[in-house]
Amino acid sequence: MSMQTSEIRERHRARLPVFRPTRWSRTRRVAGPRQELSRPTRIAFGVSGVVLILALWQIAASAGLLDPLVASSPSKIFTAARRLISEDILGPAILSTAKLFGVGFGVSLVSGLAIGAALGWYPRLAAVLDPWVSILYAVPRIALLPIISVWVGIGFEAQVIVVWLVAVFPIVINTQSGISTVDRDHLQVARGFLATDWQVLRTVAIPGATPAIVSGIRQGLMQGLIGVVLAEYFFGNTGIGGLIFSAGTTLETATAFVGAFIFAAAALLFSVALKAIERRLERWRG
């Protein structure tokens, strides 16, 4: 880190109003005016909601109120799932999708954190690259798929690039904004103790940016799931995404729903896991 300390100071002068209260120490987050539910109660309510909708769906389908071709029904979906398992289709499809997601999101996470941190820390770099990030983020990335296939074909590599293109931006943008908005008071404390730029990054900027980074990762995960489906639809028809797509073309609605439910379950799982991580990382927020 070769940035001059005077440069850091300038940057923070420029970005932060002088009498801004610190983000964390002087604002306490409290529950809203309404009573807060305990965790078990919340979960119970959530689960009952799902069960209720499934039951209504089943009843409506059995009573012939819904077109079976369009709406299918929970029992048909369950049967389809069992068939997919017994025919040894579902397991490999999940594995293939998990592998794509794992590699694609892993690459996005590592590169997103690195790029975001670099952009947040070096204002000159950000000045050069910000327009590119904005442009790439604004372009509907589906429009880039044909170009990708021209470059690298339609194999696994191309799929990973699609996932990366979708998942990396929220991570970059949130990390950048978290790192670049260091609390002015904290910076002054660190500088008063002769902190090096590297120490400021490690002890002030990164911990202060944690909430922003975690929220970037959350968005990245969800975008990554979308990216996986996109990649599987467009390149090779593999995995769960491919399963949904081919089921759709042959009007096997129940099979398509099995795939959709698997993505929904994955999204829910990530969300819960991330909440747990968040709680651990931000114990200090109280």
Partner 1 sequence: MAGMTADSPRQVGANEMAGDAFLRVAHLGKSYRRRGSSDGTEVAVLQDVSLEAKAGEFVTVIGPSGCGKSTLLTCIAGLTEVGDGTIEVDGAAVSGPGPDRAVVFQHASLLPWRTIERNVGYGLELRRDLSRGEIRSRVARMLELVGLGEFAGHYPHEISGGMKQRANLARALVVEPKLVLMDEPFGALDAITKETLQDELAALAGRMRRTTVFITHDIEEAVFLGDKVVVMSPLPGRVAAELPVPFPRPRRREVTAEPEFAALVQRLRGLIQTAIPASQSGEER
- Applying CB under 8 A, which residues contact partner 1? 22, 24-26, 28, 183, 185-186, 188-195, 199, 203-204, 207-208, 210, 283-286
Nearer to partner 1, 23 or 82 (CB): 23
Give the residue with the Cβ less far from partner 1, 141 or 186: 186
**Smallest distance from partner 1 to CB 167, Å:** 27
Lookup: tokens for 122:
């070096």
CB of 17 to partner 1, least distance (A): 9
Distance (Å, whole) CA 10 – CA 247: 58
- Judged by beta carbon, residue 64 or residue 192, the one nearer partner 1 is 192
CA gap 165, 188 in Å, rounded: 38
Q: Which of 125, 112, 120 is nearest to 15 (CA)?
A: 120
- The span from the CA of 107 to the CA of 121, in Å, is 21
Least Å from the CB of residue 249 to partner 1 = 52
Q: Which is nearer to partner 1, 58 or 199 (CB)?
A: 199
- CB-nearer residue toward partner 1: 131 or 286: 286
What's the Cα-to-Cα distance from 46 to each of 40, 52, 125, 140, 257, rounded to whole Å?
A: 10, 10, 45, 34, 21
Q: Which of 134/188 has CB closer to partner 1?
A: 188
Distances in Å between the Cα of 21 and the Cα atoms of 115, 136, 167, 184, 192 are: 28, 34, 33, 9, 19
* Smallest separation (angstroms) from partner 1 to the CB of 145: 41
Question: Considering the complex, what minimum distance in angstroms separates the CB of residue 24 from partner 1?
Answer: 4
Q: Which residue has the tokens 């709680």?
A: 279
How far apart are the C-alpha atoms of 286 and 281, rounded to whole Å?
11
Residue 164: C-alpha distances to residues 102, 169, 270 (Å): 11, 9, 17
Instruction: Write down the least CB distance from residue 286 to partner 1, Å.
Output: 4
Q: Which is nearer to partner 1, 130 or 185 (CB)?
A: 185
Closest contact distance (angstroms) between CB of 188 and partner 1 is: 6
Helix (H, G, I), strand (E, B) or coil at 84: helix
